[in-house]
């Protein structure tokens, strides 16, 4: 459940198609894609996971429309936020 909440928060921080993304954005979205894949696919989370995936794809499209410098700025902030969130999650 913590991973689900983290994924939702990260999607909120991310603002876009992979071919048009800067390197920082490719890295950022690869990390988020990896997090989404860790969400258990059961009846309790399926609807939320599907919504997260749709939102992620929409965000990728939106950010790909930004100029490269704005992509870099946004995704570097996202990467920094992701690192802070990962550091705050207790290790099992």
pLDDT value at 6 more than 80: no
Please write the tens of the pLDDT for every residue from 13-33: 444 345 567 888 888 888 888
Q: What percent of the chain has pLDDT over 70?
A: 77
Opening angle at CA 23, ends 18 and 24, nearest 5 = 105
Distance CA 14, CA 21 (A): 13
Domain ranges of the chain: 2-88
């Amino acid at each position: 459940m913590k991973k689900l909440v983290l994924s939702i928060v990260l999607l909120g921080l991310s603002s876009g198609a992979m071919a048009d993304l800067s390197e920082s954005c490719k890295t950022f979205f690869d990390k988020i894609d990896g997090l989404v894949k860790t969400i258990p696919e059961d009846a309790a989370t399926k609807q939320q996971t599907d919504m997260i995936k749709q939102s992620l794809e929409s965000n990728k499209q939106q950010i790909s429309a930004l100029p490269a410098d704005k992509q870099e700025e946004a995704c570097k902030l996202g990467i920094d936020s992701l690192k802070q969130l990962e550091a705050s999650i207790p290790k099992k």
